[in-house]
Chains A and B, each alone.
Chain A
Amino acid sequence: MNMSKEEFRKFAFLMIKDSKILYSKNSNHNSVYFAGYALESYIKIILIHHGNEDFIGHLGDSDFLDKFRLLITLHPDFFTTSILKETSSDYPKKLFNGGGNSDTKASWKISSRYKVRHWTDSNFAQDIQAEIVKIETALAQLRIDGVL
């Protein structure tokens, strides 16, 4: 698989659109699941931008997170303005963690997705909807900056 930044942008918007539809129909679990792809696509755009063009991985995989952490170490300047900086007021904490308080991102592991109970919770799903708006805004900013 070798996708472009533009393809991931389109995919992110597709997932966001569907996530919103599902949430509006009270399908909370899948609205959260689809929102996860939006964040994953956003991170992949940044990975590709920094030369990781053929990297395959998913939110929740330790390889993916290691690659992402390495990127933050190598390009700290990029992340000073990014919503992915944990101290940013726009940091999508619940979306990134996949859970309320967990910081292991374990909920996003493929083997764990069947067991995630809190995704059905309407408050959690509502918070995730608020966080995907931040992803949409961040994607727009990447386009304004010429990254996309």
Chain B
Amino acid sequence: MIITEKIVKIKEYLEENKNIEYRIINNTLGKNLILINGENTKTVSKNLLKDYEEYIQEIIIEAQEEDNFIINEIKKICPKNSVVHRNISYLNWYREVDIKFHNIIAGYSFKGGMGRSTSLAYLAYLYKLLGKKVAVLDCDFEAPGIASMFFSKKEREEKSGILDYFVDLNISEKLNLDDYCLQ
């Protein structure tokens, strides 16, 4: 959520400069590599670094860059005036947490489409009916679906999810879990 908000602001600032062409590559560390080309690129770069330095990995000004390969690679990955998200697979995601769960039931299967999410959703609902406090964590990062069984599309769109939470942890240690869960 933090990263998403900052990217929107960076994008808005770049779009205010009509004669600038930009490409933003956001990686899983929450940092952004920005390629800019056009007029007043130096000033634009300076202003972006002033306001968003901690969210910027590097700003490359196309006209000043000697390495053509990086320009070509960025253009291959990202169309002009857009943002792409690039996953980096070699990260250690382990984090110490101070939240205590007393009982954890993990739903796991090798194959998709076996009813894992549905079973977990019903199980969670059953425990809720029995008066327990239940938290459901969907760790299917590619195609999470449990939230859609409990909440409307509009409600889901208002909150970020577990993946955003992990990415934002690279930027800030003090995150409000309420921003990432639906209740």
Chain B residues within 8 Å of A146, by CB: 27, 29, 31, 33, 57-58, 88
B43: chain A residues at CB < 8 Å are: none
Hey, what's the 0/1 contact readout for B52-85 against A, CB within 8 Å counting as 1?
0000011000000001011011100100000000
User: A144 touching B33 by the CB < 8 A rule?
Assistant: yes
Residue in contact with A77 in the complex, picked from B67, B72, B89, CB distance below 8 Å:
B89
Distance of B69 from chain A, by nearest CB (Å)? 4
Q: Which residues of B contact A80 (CB under 8 A)?
A: 89-90
Interface size of A by CB at 8 A reads 15
Q: Produce 1/0 per residue, B78-106, CB < 8 A to A.
A: 00000000101111000000000000000
From A13, A78, A140, give the contact of B90 (CB < 8 A).
A78
Beta-carbon contacts of B26-37 to A below 8 Å, as 1s and 0s? 010101010000
B7 at the interface (CB under 8 A from A): no
B25 close to chain A: CB less than 8 A: yes
Cβ–Cβ contact A77 & B90, under 8 A: yes
B67 close to A13 (CB less than 8 A): yes
B52 CB to closest chain A CB (Å) equals 16
Q: CB distance A81 to B29 under 8 Å?
A: no
B86 touches A144 (CB 8 A): yes
Decide yes or no whether A141 CB sits under 8 A from chain B.
Answer: yes
Looking at the assembled complex, report how far the CB atom of B54 sits from the nearest CB atom of chain A, in whole angstroms. 13
What are 25 A-B pairs at a CB distance below 8 A?
A13-B67, A75-B90, A77-B90, A77-B91, A78-B90, A137-B73, A139-B67, A140-B67, A140-B70, A140-B72, A140-B73, A141-B73, A143-B33, A143-B58, A143-B70, A144-B33, A144-B73, A144-B74, A144-B77, A145-B27, A145-B86, A145-B88, A146-B29, A146-B31, A146-B57
